[in-house]
Amino acid sequence: MIRAATANDVAEIRAMIRELAEYERAVEQARATEEQLREALFGELPAAFALIAEDDETGKAVGYALWFPRFSTWTGTRGMHLEDLYVRPHARGGGHGKALLASLAAICERHGYERFEWWVLAWNEPTIDFYKSLGVEFLDEWTVCRLSGEPLQDLAAQAPAVRNQSPAL
């Protein structure tokens, strides 16, 4: 069963985020707190949304998908960025990952999102094979860029004043 996450799921989502980070060999980078996740998912202005995959027999959470809307200047439409897709090891192969992705694709269709995009680590062959089985297009010509920590702070310090700045900026 796939369902929308609720505020009661925050601790379980955080636990699965940590499990995903361990699998991706980056557990030290998974620093989000329950309070941050609660605000991001269920605050006044949600930054992201989540679905939960439950075991049909026990009702326990066996996976999650966390996503947020994005915008394409080329298509002039919104799209979806999948930040996390995770199914616990004991539940893999049971169709939960595909059900989560299908549910997200349905959200895209319902809202007129033309693109559904995410990243996958190059070494994660089992997941890449799974995505290939769904007909996913891999955009090898694009490279992910990230600016964080001190380089981000250094560049921000060079910013000129922005006139007519809205509160969102």
86 assigned to active site? no
How far apart (Å, rounded) are the C-alpha atoms in residues 39 and 107?
A: 22
Q: Which residue has the tokens 């890449």?
A: 128
Task: Indicate which residue of 64, 86, 113, 131 is catalytic.
Answer: 131
How far apart (Å, rounded) are the C-alpha atoms in residues 148 and 137?
A: 28
Going by C-alpha positions, the residue among 54, 55, 103, 53 that lies closest to residue 82 is: 103
- Catalytic residues, by residue number, are 131
